Amino acid sequence: MAAVLLAVGATFTGNTAQAATNYPTEDVSGTVTVTNPDGAPLYFDQGTFTPLNRSLPAGSQWKAIYRTKTADGSYTYNLGGTQWVKAKDISYVDGTTLTDGVLFLYRGINTSTGATLPAGTFWKVFNVYGGSNANTFKYDVGGATVEGTPNTDFAVFGSQEGSFNGTFTVYGSGPATLYDGAGNGVSQLYAGSVWKVFGAKVLNGAIYLRVGNDAQWVRLDAGNISL
């Protein structure tokens, strides 16, 4: 599980990127992975590198939209709008597949299709994009996107993992199976027992919550979440 789920300006929609003079750009369709253990600083532009005063966490993955070769011959990558990262802080691989993640909503959020996803629900994340300002991101939850601020509007597990203070309570009707990281049952959790949630992932089409180490998972549908 990678480090957690940050920001950009307006969504890039054209086929030709508008870059600063003498900094030609090219469209790309690949994945940026943050390799700098201290994170990848975000910049407002690809010429003067005006800092946005925030960074992407080490290990997080992002869809790259286009890239620019700067005066020193190195690349900078655009993640949407005015969000840029330097090549020295990341690795780039062609292709758009990102690490699957899970989104937990702290509040109800409208989707790009007009539907509302209710607070307290989990959703599988297929891709992450830059949002409409320097504090938000857009998450593809399958056929629609939601936009918001990580750790404020939602918790993001898998590709942008951050702190999550929720707990999982096993339903009182019976024990819940405890699984290892591959989905094999290894033990049971007592009915009514309460566990801190450390992570979440999608396995075999179901959402699992990590309630201990990387070999201790429980299915979401075996209990409920409390904040």
Q: Which is higher by pLDDT, 13 or 127?
A: 127
Q: Determine how many CB atoms are found less than 10 A away from the CB of residue 23.
A: 15
N-to-C CA span, the chain? 22
174 and 149 in one domain? no
Q: Annotate 168-215 with DSSP letters as a single string.
A: EEE-TTS-EEEE-TTS-EEEEE-TT-EEE--EEEEETTEEEEE-SSTT
Per-residue model confidence as pLDDT tens digits over 126-150: 877 766 765 677 888 888 889 888 7
108 and 133 in one domain? yes
Judged against a pLDDT cut of 90, whether residue 188 lies above it is answered with yes
Residue 24: phi and psi, rounded to 5, are: -65, 145
So what's the pLDDT on residue 9?
A: 30
Judged against a pLDDT cut of 90, whether residue 95 lies above it is answered with no
Question: Residue 115 domain-assigned?
Answer: yes
Lowest mean pLDDT among 16-20, 91-95, 204-208: 16-20
Dist. CA 195–CA 223, nearest whole Å = 10
- Per the listing, tokens 């993001």 go with 156
Q: State which residues form the domain around 48.
A: 25-94
89 and 29 in one domain? yes
90 and 57 in one domain? yes
Question: Residue 31 domain-assigned?
Answer: yes
Lowest mean pLDDT among 105-114, 125-134, 176-185: 125-134
Question: Residue 116 domain-assigned?
Answer: yes
Q: Which is higher by pLDDT, 97 or 197?
A: 197
Report how far apart, in Å, the C-alpha atoms of 24 and of each of 73, 83, 87, 141 are.
12, 17, 16, 33
- Per the listing, tokens 């299709």 go with 113
Q: Which residues contact 8 (CB under 8 A, 6 or more apart)?
A: 79, 80, 81, 82, 83, 130, 131, 132, 133, 134, 137
Question: Residue 184 domain-assigned?
Answer: yes
So what's the pLDDT on residue 216?
A: 95
Report the mean per-residue pLDDT for the chain.
81
Lowest mean pLDDT among 45-49, 117-121, 223-227: 45-49
Question: Residue 12 domain-assigned?
Answer: no
CATH for 68 = 2.30.30
In Å, the largest CA–CA distance within the chain is 67
CA dihedral angle for residue 85, residue 91, residue 97, residue 98, rounded to 10 degrees: -70
So what's the pLDDT on residue 22?
A: 53
Q: Which is higher by pLDDT, 151 or 42?
A: 42
Question: Residue 63 domain-assigned?
Answer: yes
| Global confidence as pTM | 0.58
Question: Residue 17 domain-assigned?
Answer: no
Per-residue model confidence as pLDDT tens digits over 15-58: 333 444 456 788 887 788 888 989 999 998 887 889 999 899 88
Tally of domains in the chain? 3
So what's the pLDDT on residue 155?
A: 86
| DSSP conformation class of 11 | P
| DSSP conformation class of 87 | G
